[in-house]
Amino acid sequence: MKKGICRVIICFLLCAGLLPYAAALPIGVYHNRTNDGNMIALTFDDGPHPKYTRKILDILDEYGIPATFFFVGENVSYYQDTAREVVKRGHEIGNHTYSHPRVSKQSDAAFREELVRCEDVIKQVTGVHPKVFRPPQGSWNQRVYEIARQRDYSVILWDLDTLDWAHTPSEKIANYILENAKSGNIILMHDYHSGCCTTLDALRMFIPDLIEQGYRFVTVSELIQE
């Protein structure tokens, strides 16, 4: 069977829930990456935000850990100083499209434009060429995968969703992470919020406990290279 046809069938079975999630992911798509070094990746979507991104950076600095920030291009253009600060403090930047659409519902041309526009503004503002891409809402399909791979992106999903965007209480987020943490986790959080932000307190609750348990925080790119 040709590779292209095989991939389409696998994608269909995955969406239909007929294959285990991890087993069905094509090469270059990750929701975790099991390793022998107790490494996990902390990721933040939808920023940069002029208030919350900087507060998150301060918390990460306190514990001396890196993270990956999946930027929305529009927000990079609005908050350029904050975007540059993320790079200055040694964190990884990923592509999260220019305007945060549901890319699996877009045409090839529309999605490619979203990807390239975000890539271009990130390079223009920060000097960084992102190499990891996260589809908004985790919505991807074979076309999204192929276009992202054509531009040399790894597609990054997650296996622990904190639901912090829904203002989930900090204690609940922390307990969820601590109860489900394992080597290779990719943790989904957000640094762009409307209204109350429970992310900050949650970070202070679970980061020190995970470090004490022997987990090591790395960027997504470091994690998937293992």
How would you label 145-177 residue by residue, b for 16+ Cβ within 10 Å and e otherwise?
Answer: bebbbeeebbbbbbbbebebbeebebeebbebb
Catalytic site includes residue 161: no
Catalytic site includes residue 191: no
**Which of 45, 46, 159, 164 is an active site residue?**
45
Distance (Å, whole) CA 174 – CA 79 = 29
**Which of 49, 190, 191, 193 is an active site residue?**
190
- Beta carbons of 49 and 24 less than 8 angstroms apart: no
Q: How many angstroms separate the Cα of 46 from the Cα of each of 79, 98, 209?
A: 12, 10, 26
Catalytic residue numbers, as ranges? 45, 190
